[in-house]
Amino acid sequence: MTATTATSAPTWGSMARARIGVEIKEFTRSREQMVFIFFFPMMLLLLFGSVFGGEEISPGVTFAQYFLAGMVASGVFNTGFQSLAMSLAIDRDDDELKRIHGTPLPATAFFAAKVAYVLMVSVVQVAILIAIGVVLYDVSLPGDAAHWWTFAWVFLLGTAAATTLGIAMSSLLRNAKAGSAVITPIVLFLQFTSGVFLVYTQIPSFLQHVAEVFPLKWLAQGMRSVFLPESFEAAEARGSWEHPATAIVLALWIVVGLFLAVRTFRWTRHDDN
């Protein structure tokens, strides 16, 4: 009598974990992505910190300390939005998404792996930026659980909003070559108007109102509430950290991003029939 060995079918969790491994492996093998996500923000922080770092924008708060909070927010947003949108567009052009869609891998497991990858990469990126801020620019880390809780929910909501918008944006790009020309101006505009490269209250008021519509402004303000002293709250545009508004706006953008991603995402190139 011949014994037969039954092999169990892979579960959703096992396929998602396997896909996460693939995402991390592809990322570590891509020098361009490594430079953009890790070294470019580090270079900007070191450059702006060296030039303007010692200037006080408020009693006891230097520009370098302010800029660190903005770069942390910008790094989270860029990883989930710009980098993810570009990588998906490249994979679509190379028919990678088409081949993945033809495998037994569930779409939900694929996107769960993308979210997990963005989260892991963002954690490393943020840790590097904070380490530079602490070592070189005397940024004081929060010493109480309340501030770290604020950091956690702002980070998670911001990452979720950026990731869903990145997935949605990837399908709006006709091809990967056009991606940089379309996405880079959007990101630069948001960085300059959301309190990343410039102090938010020094930006013209009409641009402040435009920035308030988008998630990066609230992500940056949330990070400032974590890494800057409580005394700086009075220097914000409305004299408050506005935590409830931050949570609401980021949550709304998650919903908008999910809606657009579900309605617009394409596994095949735009010129495919």
**What would the pLDDT profile of 32-52 be if each residue is shown by its tens digit?**
788 888 888 888 888 887 877
**Where are the strands (E) in 31-168, listed by range?**
56-58, 61-62
Q: Are 137 and 65 in contact (CB under 8 A)?
A: yes
pLDDT at 3: 47
pLDDT at 53: 62
Distance of CA 42 to the CA centre of its chain: 15
Tokens 């402040």 sit at which residue? Answer: 208
Asked whether residue 199 carries a pLDDT value surpassing 60, the answer given is: yes
Asked whether residue 54 carries a pLDDT value surpassing 80, the answer given is: no
Rounded to a whole number of angstroms, the CA Rg of the chain reads: 20
For the chain, give the percent of residues with pLDDT over 90. 65
Task: Round to whole Å and give the CA distance between 153 and 74.
Answer: 16
Mean pLDDT across the chain, nearest whole number?
89
**What would the pLDDT profile of 92-148 be if each residue is shown by its tens digit?**
999 999 999 999 999 999 999 999 999 999 999 999 999 998 888 888 888 899 999
Q: Could you tell me which of 85, 72, 243 has the C-alpha nearest to residue 150?
A: 243
pLDDT at 212: 96
pLDDT at 7: 60
For 58, list phi and psi in degrees, rounded to 5.
-160, 155
Q: How confident is the model at residue 273 (pLDDT cuts 50, 70, 90)?
A: low
Query: What average pLDDT does range 68-91 have in this prediction?
Result: 93
**What would the pLDDT profile of 211-253 be if each residue is shown by its tens digit?**
999 999 999 999 999 999 999 999 999 999 999 999 999 999 9
**What would the pLDDT profile of 4-41 be if each residue is shown by its tens digit?**
445 677 899 999 999 999 999 988 888 878 888 888 88
Q: How confident is the model at residue 255 (pLDDT cuts 50, 70, 90)?
A: very high
pLDDT at 140: 82
pLDDT at 220: 97
User: Model's pTM, two decimal places?
Assistant: 0.91
Which string of b and e fits 173-203 if b means at least 16 CB within 10 Å? beebeebeeebeeebeebbebbbbbbebeeb
pLDDT at 143: 85
Asked whether residue 64 carries a pLDDT value surpassing 90, the answer given is: no
Query: What average pLDDT does range 158-184 have in this prediction?
Result: 89
For 245, list phi and psi in degrees, rounded to 5.
-65, -40
pLDDT at 6: 52
